Amino acid sequence: MKNTLQTLLFTITLTLSAGAMASQSVTVHVNGLVCDFCATAIEKVFGKQDAVEGVQVDLNEKIVSIDIKDDHQMSDEEITKLVMDSGYNVESIERVERQE
pTM: 0.74
Q: What is the pLDDT of residues 45-64, one digit of tens each?
A: 999 999 999 999 999 999 99
pLDDT (average), residues 73-85: 96
pLDDT of 14 higher than 50? no
- For the chain, domain boundaries: 22-99
The whole-angstrom separation of Cα 76 and Cα 53 is 17
Among the residues of 1-100, which ranges form H helices?
2-19, 36-47, 76-85
The topology under which CATH files domain 22-99 is Alpha-Beta Plaits (3.30.70)
